[in-house]
Structure 1
């Protein structure tokens, strides 16, 4: 089968198309013919940074990719809840800050643990399902722990990106009044998702334009977090999607302001994906795919992600 090998950490030139053997499913695993791969920031960081080499668990060849959708073509021992031909999607074997997770998703076939996958609703395409794995889980999992209440004023930064555009839709699903921050070029797109207000960060300082909110979903990194804390009501919540809070100056700032600020690391979970599948099926969330690439164009897909200006999601299709 065709696969993309990470030859060494570095630029996109280190991603090489090669033929490798089709893997074999072991107990509680399935073999999936991959129809769609979703590109995420994690893919870029893992390609660039030698400090993340631990995620490959010492295995060769090193193959990036965790977010996939496809068709089951092989069953390992003990698999009972899935069958050959099932359309499934998953965030496969995703690593943590300390634990490896080598899913090998940049390939025509991939092995998945049954606990990491869920069925795709008939009305949902492979591309849409792949787009909704990691990105939707990144919002869904923390909001299960610290829910948005109906009528909450929710401020979402980076609202036009892969995770952000799901945050807008899921917050609306919970009955929130949603205020968004992004570049002016994304205004119409974000409002079409159901956002109630839009602030163009290129022309407006949100600190001067925004009344206090109940909840911030912080989709930007590092220093922006301290500014966002200033608009949260006492007793409110701030979810940081990228920056750790515990033990930082931001935690002290939040505590002084009477705000609950937290970070949540996304985890592989077929159970949670089944809940995302229900949202997809009833149209509560609709993935937006801005660019599609073939497997042999993986470098271009990475470059598109590296601009940090992609609207919605970027998908790679191994089979067209």
Structure 2
């Protein structure tokens, strides 16, 4: 089968299109013939530095990167009960760990997949995996109806899913983006928009129940001032909070926490149902061929991505 492998960390030139053997299934696994792959910031971050590769793969080289897939079941292990050959499925495979998604065939535990709704494409399904799971796992136990929440970077991958999920939960959603993406984020259901280029969010909002931060650093520090006492900030980047941040959060009685998304069939079923009902939609802004997967990395790494970047097989 075709696959894209990497033998050492570095630039996109280290992503090599090659031929490898199909995965050998374990008894609880499903073999998926891949139709679409979603690319996330974690992909290029892990690709670019050896500590990232080592964290996920140890000393194994070369390796196949990637976690987000949609496709068709071509084979099942002898203990698989939830899927049959021919089913269309999607999910985030083995995260954190070795998903090996940049390939024509991907072996996934059945507990990491859900059946695709019939009303969406393979591209939209692949988009609604790591980013949508992150949004769901961050929000589902931390916000409630009528909470006032701020979602930074609402036009991004995690951001645009977060707006929709928070609205489905009944929250009042404020989000930041550039002015050119205002209509997009408002279309996802945001109640208020802040143009982060012309406005300082810390001067516009206050007394919030929850903030979803994608940046850490100065934005996280300023976010503490807009959260009410007893409120929460979820910060996605690694939890290396500065002394200034932790001190201010303690002084203001604001809980700052961190989450690493986990593969989950249960959560994928929730996302599948929302996609089917139309309460959740994927915004795919760029699509690349498998042979141009390195260009997908470059596009995402530019920091100009709106919504999701997809690779088609």
> TM-score normalised by the shorter chain: which range applies?
over 0.9
Q: Provide the C-alpha distance between the structure 2 equivalents of 1:117 and 1:208, rounded to a whole number of angstroms.
A: 43
Is 1:283 the counterpart of 2:278 in the alignment?
yes
CA contact (8 A) 2:7 2:61 kept: no
Q: Secondary structure at the match of 1:26?
A: coil
Residue 58 of structure 1, CA deviation: 3.4
| Structure 1: gaps of 5 or more residues | 96-100
Determine helix, strand or coil for the equivalent of 2:25.
Answer: coil
Deviation by residue 1:179-221 (Cα, 9 ceiling, x = unmatched): 1111122111111111111111111111222232111111223
Question: In structure 1, what is the Cα distance between the partners aligned to 2:126 and 2:231?
Answer: 33
Partner of 2:184, secondary structure, is helix
Structure 1 residue aligned with 2:120: 124
- Counterpart of 2:91 in structure 1 is 90
CA contact (8 A) 1:57 1:102 kept: no
2:215 pairs with 1:220: yes
Kindly state the Cα deviation for residue 141 of structure 1 after the two structures are TM-superposed: 1.0
Any idea what SS the aligned residue of 1:145 has? coil
1:7 partnered with 2:31: no
Name 1:50's counterpart in structure 2.
Answer: 50
- 2:137 aligns to what SS in structure 1? helix
Aligned CA distance change for structure 1 residues 59 and 23 (closer, same or farther; 3 Å): same
The SS at the match of 1:21 is coil
Look up the match of 1:98: none
1: CA distance, partners of 2:17 / 2:240: 39
- Tell me the CA shift for residue 8 of structure 1: 1.8
User: Offset of 1:103 from its aligned partner?
Assistant: 1.3
The two structures have a TM-score, normalised by structure 2, of 0.96
Counterpart of 1:22 in structure 2 is 22
What is the CA-CA distance between 1:250 and the residue it aligns to?
2.6
Q: What does 1:66-105 correspond to in 2, within 5 Å?
A: 66-95=67-96, 101-105=97-101
- The aligned runs of 1:1-320 (5 Å cut-off) are 1-54=1-54, 55-95=56-96, 101-146=97-142, 148-244=143-239, 249-318=244-313
Contact residue 23 and residue 110 of structure 1 kept, 8 A:
yes
Contact 1:291–1:313 (8 Å) recurs in 2? yes
